Amino acid sequence: MNSFTGKRLLALVRGGDYAHAGEEEAIDRVFANLPKRSDQWLLDVGCGRGGTADYVRRGGWGRVVGIDRDGDSLAYARSRYPEVAFAAGDVREAPRLLFQRFALVYMLNAFYAFEAQREALAALRQVAEEGAELLIFDYLDRGGFQDDPLVVNGRSIIPHPIEREAICGKLAETGWKLVSTEDLHREYGHWYAALLSRIEARAPEVIAVEGKESLDHLRAVYRGILRKIERGLLGGVLLNCAAV
Ligand SMILES: C[S@@+](CC[C@H](N)C(=O)[O-])C[C@H]1O[C@@H](n2cnc3c(N)ncnc32)[C@H](O)[C@@H]1O
């Protein structure tokens, strides 16, 4: 759900400006062991409507900048969350667009959407401080997803999930190293089952705002994701990485 309309619909269903699995519970999980420091800069990559960036700022983890290539969502984010700075552009343009250096770079369900993951990681390394951390919270191909991908209305829904064999190489080639991984398969199952319940609970509002076709699309996407999770093809993971 990378389009402006898709993210707006998800915000309606989720009751907050989030387009990632698990909403605030997931953010708390990702940030659980991180120091809260008002003098550090954090970068939210693929920040969408800005809800996560503002949650992190309010939580006291530091000063937050969001970057996303969806200009409409960023226009919304700027007016809704004026205390967060937002930069409009592709992640690969981060070194040109951002003037801060970041102690923590994080992305929640954004990496899977990047066509050029290596270039993205290299660009993020350039804006990271020495010793910076990188957190990637995303879909994991648990084996077999690539051969049986989720396609809805002719579109690949999770085009580039994390692959265990490839990710270490991509990180190493771009100035990062993998420090630890946390498997979130069970949690992704719960979170997507809960999201499907919310979609049903809010179905009348979704139809009123975007029409029946959008509701059918939402159902197809999230039922499809849950089915892949239940079959063990798809999961979730948190990668904790460090700049080298
Ligand atoms: C599923 S949304 C997640 C948004 C946000 N992280 C959240 O949790 O609500 C993925 C986001 O990545 C952004 N995105 C995809 N490819 C990008 C790229 N190459 N550069 C910057 N942003 C990108 C999309 O516009 C979208 O807002």
Q: What is the pLDDT of residues 154-198, one digit of tens each?
A: 999 999 999 999 999 999 999 999 999 999 999 999 999 999 999
Residue nearest to ligand 1 atom 11, measured at CA: 46
CATH of the domain at 168: 3.40.50.150
> In the chain, which residue ranges form alpha helices assigned H by DSSP?
4-14, 23-31, 51-58, 71-80, 94-97, 117-126, 164-173, 185-201, 203-210, 212-230
Contact, 153 vs 214, CB < 8 A? Answer: no
Between the CA of 227 and the centroid of ligand 1 the distance, in Å, is 23
Domain span including residue 43:
4-243
The average pLDDT across 129-144 equals 97
Q: Rounded distance, CA 30 to CA 187, Å?
A: 13
Q: Rounded distance, CA 51 to CA 199, Å?
A: 19
Q: Rounded distance, CA 229 to CA 191, Å?
A: 11
Contact, 52 vs 23, CB < 8 A? Answer: no
Query: Does ligand 1 have an atom closer than 6 angstroms to the CB of 68?
Result: yes
Q: Rounded distance, CA 150 to CA 176, Å?
A: 30
**Crossing angle between the packed helical segments 4-14 and 212-230, to the nearest 10 degrees:** 80
Query: Is residue 73 predicted with pLDDT exceeding 90?
Result: yes
Atom of ligand 1 nearest to the CA of 120: 19
**Half-sphere exposure at residue 151, Cβ-oriented, CA atoms within 13 angstroms:** 7
Q: Rounded distance, CA 216 to CA 207, Å?
A: 9
Between the CA of 207 and the centroid of ligand 1 the distance, in Å, is 25
Read off the pTM.
Answer: 0.97
Evaluate the CA torsion angle 219, 76, 115, 191 in order and state its sign.
negative
Number of independent structural domains in the chain: 1
Residue nearest to ligand 1 atom 24, measured at CA: 2
Query: Does ligand 1 have an atom closer than 6 angstroms to the CB of 57?
Result: no
The average pLDDT across 201-218 equals 93
Q: Which residue among 4, 98, 109 is best mutated to probe the pocket of ligand 1, counting the most ligand atoms within 8 A of its Cβ?
A: 109
* Band of pLDDT at residue 3, cut at 50, 70 and 90: confident
Query: Does ligand 1 have an atom closer than 6 angstroms to the CB of 46?
Result: yes
Query: Does ligand 1 have an atom closer than 6 angstroms to the CB of 239?
Result: no
The Cα angle at residue 167 between residues 165 and 171, in degrees rounded to 5: 140
Between the CA of 45 and the centroid of ligand 1 the distance, in Å, is 7
**Half-sphere exposure at residue 161, Cβ-oriented, CA atoms within 13 angstroms:** 25
Query: Does ligand 1 have an atom closer than 6 angstroms to the CB of 114?
Result: yes
Q: Rounded distance, CA 45 to CA 54, Å?
A: 13
Query: Does ligand 1 have an atom closer than 6 angstroms to the CB of 24?
Result: no
What percentage of the chain carries pLDDT values higher than 90?
93
Query: Does ligand 1 have an atom closer than 6 angstroms to the CB of 113?
Result: yes
The average pLDDT across 50-62 equals 98
Contact, 202 vs 12, CB < 8 A? Answer: yes
